[in-house]
Amino acid sequence: MYSIELMIEEHKNILKLIEVIRNACCGILDGAEVNVEDFEKMIQFCRNYADKHHHGKEEVILFKKMTEKLGALAEKLINHGMLVEHDLGRLFISELETSLNQYRDNPKTIYKLGIIGGATGYANLLTRHIDKEDNAVYKFAEKQLTPEVLESVDELVRSFEKEAEEQSVQEKYLAILDELTKKYPSK
């Protein structure tokens, strides 16, 4: 199914960024200076691609249909599972941002700890979250939603994507991902 395949591809991009985050944090632990500008780019990617662009489609389109059409189990899985984790991800990113700003003004070790804590918390959370979606939530949706509903999800996702393309969202953030992946390669 188009929408689910697309969202699984987006997960792969988010996991690449998570690898960048982990490599940048390991660099700090090994004594490298904190590159504030690069961490700001990671935050931008997490907020605008992983959250707004990807979680946006989940929350406004796919998960919405699941809670509307699939009853109590779906409601529990989405409202008390996936959406809570999206919120927790936002919290980790705002903690990372706060520590980054503190570090910029006053480069103390305690703020480095906050940067590594927020970034690693986000990385671990999203890794588990993506695994659950790829292996359980999306499969549940594909199996349980009717072909008509799946077709309407595809249609809504196509128009969401088109609108994002008009604003060069995918192009902009995949270029940032490419740049950061080259700068913080896997070890």
Interface ranges with Fe ion (CB under 5 A): 58, 133
Shortest CB 29 distance to Fe ion, Å: 28
Judge contact between 48 and 170, C-beta under 8 A: no
Q: How far apart are CA 115 and CA 72, in angstroms?
A: 38
Nearer to Fe ion, 81 or 117 (CB): 81
Shortest CB 10 distance to Fe ion, Å: 7
- ∠ CA 130-92-64, nearest 5°, is 45
Shortest CB 107 distance to Fe ion, Å: 34
Shortest CB 142 distance to Fe ion, Å: 14
- Using DSSP's 3-state secondary structure scheme, residue 1 falls into coil
Nearer to Fe ion, 9 or 105 (CB): 9
Nearer to Fe ion, 73 or 113 (CB): 73
Q: How far apart are CA 145 and CA 82, in angstroms?
A: 18
Nearer to Fe ion, 27 or 81 (CB): 81
Judge contact between 130 and 58, C-beta under 8 A: no
* Contacting residues for 52 by C-beta, under 8 A, at least 6 apart: none
